[in-house]
């Protein structure tokens, strides 16, 4: 039995004012933070709303019809504002943009934003790697438009194949079949490198691990198992509900032999495992799975990500409780040099390593819910 304390909290402390150090101004394409980590990824949240109520992210008890903290439209960054910022990030070395939320496909005409972002180039003239994470509910309707606008890849969240389990987890009675159809639509539209993210909660959907692996093995879709994280302050997280990735791999190995694969990129969050063929070697036709062990195997050491919230606050860590107010800078008429200087100074001052520090705490303290922390649906996963 899990003791659960779910606080009702106003979630957003006042933002920090970005530092404007002239010394940091000129973008060089390579930026190092205070721990020597380079900047590579930017996650952009385009809405704080969602049509699902996954208990680990937007529990219904909090995000109900009386929830008052959704952002009004005027607070959201416009597509032009997002693109202007993204251009400065690219000059500072960002190579990958991921749109997220909330549910990003709920943002009206999000394909127009993708079309703008697809025009951006790195300092050496390359397009940015453009991807999006979605619950898949609107993909059948949107996949082709997203691809046509210039989206390269897509990650779809799906927590099980059993319809009863999945409907309970999304808590809005949404059927598995429609998400699978969304994945099919993404493939038909020509989106490549499709990934499926499954958050594993002990006691909730661990019986879905093998069915999911069997279903996606050999289809070209990469399934990734994500440890249930202590993000936000409303999901009543506790360590007892985390199923360590090592147990996921051990479970899979009993039926589906796996061999470890090396990371495909520095700072990659997933540990990769390839399905082995009859010769015991990785068989590319069978594909691979990944595990994201944010709780049991912290990867702060090469965390190369920034997160831009829906209202233009920049977060240097998923577990930060304050962001830097880039929207104010934009709306005060800052020039590109000032935006670049602010981004540089924020990254150069960054020393976050929350998960590493949490993993050094005794279990009783690691499970204590903080009084204030930004929600995943606001900051973007």
Q: What residues make contact with ligand SAM under the rule CB under 6 A?
A: 50, 56-57, 100-101, 103, 133-135, 157, 197, 199, 226, 228-229, 231, 235, 376-377, 381
The site for ligand SF4, by CB under 6 A, has a size of: 22
Among 27, 93, 102, 274, binds ligand SF4 (CB under 6 A): 102
Torsion of CA 203, 204, 209, 212, to 10 degrees: 170
Instruction: Decide: is 89 part of the binding site for ligand SF4 (CB under 6 A).
Output: no
d(CA 284, CA 181): 25
CB of 145 to ligand SAM, least distance (A): 18
Strands (E), the chain: 41-45, 96-100, 129-134, 153-157, 192-200, 222-227, 258-260, 271-275, 288-292, 305-308, 313-315, 324-325
Instruction: Decide: is 347 part of the binding site for ligand SF4 (CB under 6 A).
Output: no
Q: Taking a C-beta distance cutoff of 8 angstroms, is the pair 6, 322 a contact? A: no
By beta-carbon proximity to ligand SF4, the closer residue of 150 and 267 is: 267
d(CA 160, CA 59): 18
Least Cα distance to 258 among 248, 266, 244, 269 occurs for 248
Cβ-based neighbour number of residue 42 at 10 Å: 25
CB of 186 to ligand SAM, least distance (A): 13
Among 122, 167, 299, 348, binds ligand SF4 (CB under 6 A): 299
By beta-carbon proximity to ligand SF4, the closer residue of 258 and 308 is: 308
Q: Taking a C-beta distance cutoff of 8 angstroms, is the pair 233, 223 a contact? A: no
Q: Taking a C-beta distance cutoff of 8 angstroms, is the pair 281, 213 a contact? A: no
Among 300, 329, 334, 340, binds ligand SF4 (CB under 6 A): 300
What φ, ψ does residue 165 adopt, rounded to 5°?
-60, -45
Instruction: Decide: is 377 part of the binding site for ligand SF4 (CB under 6 A).
Output: yes
By beta-carbon proximity to ligand SAM, the closer residue of 50 and 303 is: 50
Q: Taking a C-beta distance cutoff of 8 angstroms, is the pair 95, 39 a contact? A: no
Among 292, 317, 326, 340, binds ligand SF4 (CB under 6 A): 317
Instruction: Decide: is 54 part of the binding site for ligand SF4 (CB under 6 A).
Output: yes
By beta-carbon proximity to ligand SAM, the closer residue of 135 and 245 is: 135
Q: Taking a C-beta distance cutoff of 8 angstroms, is the pair 319, 355 a contact? A: yes
By beta-carbon proximity to ligand SAM, the closer residue of 37 and 195 is: 195
d(CA 35, CA 348): 9
Which of ligand SF4, ligand SAM, none does residue 319 bind to, with CB < 5 to 8 Å depending on kind? ligand SF4
By beta-carbon proximity to ligand SF4, the closer residue of 156 and 330 is: 156
Least Cα distance to 44 among 282, 321, 309, 373 occurs for 309
Which of ligand SAM, ligand SF4, none does residue 353 bind to, with CB < 5 to 8 Å depending on kind? ligand SF4
Handedness of CA 313, 317, 319, 321 (dihedral sign): negative
By beta-carbon proximity to ligand SAM, the closer residue of 116 and 155 is: 155
Stretch that binds ligand SF4, among 10-18, 46-54, 144-152, 232-240 (CB under 6 A): 46-54
CB of 313 to ligand SAM, least distance (A): 16
Instruction: Decide: is 354 part of the binding site for ligand SF4 (CB under 6 A).
Output: yes
Among 52, 174, 216, 347, binds ligand SF4 (CB under 6 A): 52
What φ, ψ does residue 35 adopt, rounded to 5°?
-105, 15
Instruction: Decide: is 273 part of the binding site for ligand SF4 (CB under 6 A).
Output: no
Q: Taking a C-beta distance cutoff of 8 angstroms, is the pair 127, 120 a contact? A: yes
Tell me the Cα Rg of the chain: 20
CB of 252 to ligand SAM, least distance (A): 19
Binding site for ligand SF4 (CB under 6 A): 50, 52-54, 57-58, 101-103, 135, 157, 299-300, 303, 317-319, 352-355, 377
């Amino acid at each position: 039995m899990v003791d659960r304390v779910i606080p009702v909290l106003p979630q957003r402390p006042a933002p920090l004012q970005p530092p404007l150090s002239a010394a940091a101004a000129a973008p060089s394409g390579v930026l190092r933070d205070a721990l020597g980590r380079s900047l590579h990824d930017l996650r952009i949240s385009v809405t704080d709303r969602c049509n699902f109520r996954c208990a680990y992210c937007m529990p219904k008890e909090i995000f109900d019809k009386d929830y008052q903290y959704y952002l009004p439209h005027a607070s959201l960054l416009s597509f032009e504002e997002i693109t202007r910022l993204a251009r400065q990030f690219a000059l500072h070395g960002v190579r990958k943009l991921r749109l997220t939320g909330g549910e990003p496909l709920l943002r009206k005409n999000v394909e127009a934003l993708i079309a703008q972002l697809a025009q951006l180039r790195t300092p050496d003239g390359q397009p940015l790697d453009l991807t999006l994470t979605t619950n898949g509910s609107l993909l059948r309707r949107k996949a082709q438009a997203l691809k046509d606008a210039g989206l390269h890849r897509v990650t779809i969240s799906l927590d099980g194949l059993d319809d009863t389990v999945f409907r309970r987890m999304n808590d809005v009675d949404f059927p598995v079949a429609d998400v699978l159809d969304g994945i099919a639509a993404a493939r038909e539209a020509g989106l490549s490198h499709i990934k499926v993210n499954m958050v594993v909660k002990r006691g909730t959907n661990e019986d879905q691990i093998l069915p999911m692996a069997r279903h996606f093995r050999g289809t070209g879709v990469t399934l990734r198992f994500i440890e249930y994280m202590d993000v936000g302050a409303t999901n009543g997280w506790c360590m007892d509900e985390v199923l360590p990735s090592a147990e996921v791999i051990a479970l899979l190995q009993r039926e589906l032999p796996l061999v470890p694969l090396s990371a495909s990129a520095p700072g990659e969050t997933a540990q990769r495992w390839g399905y082995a063929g009859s010769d015991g070697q990785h068989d590319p036709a069978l594909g691979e799975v990944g595990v994201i062990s944010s709780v049991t195997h912290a990867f702060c050491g090469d965390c190369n990500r920034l997160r831009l919230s829906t209202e233009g606050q920049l977060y240097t860590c998923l577990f930060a409780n304050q962001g830097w107010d880039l929207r104010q800078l934009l709306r005060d008429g800052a020039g590109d040099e000032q935006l670049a200087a602010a981004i540089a100074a924020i990254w150069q001052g960054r020393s976050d390593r929350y998960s590493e520090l949490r993993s050094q705490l005794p279990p009783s303290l690691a499970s204590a819910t903080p009084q204030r922390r930004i929600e995943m649906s606001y900051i973007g996963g």
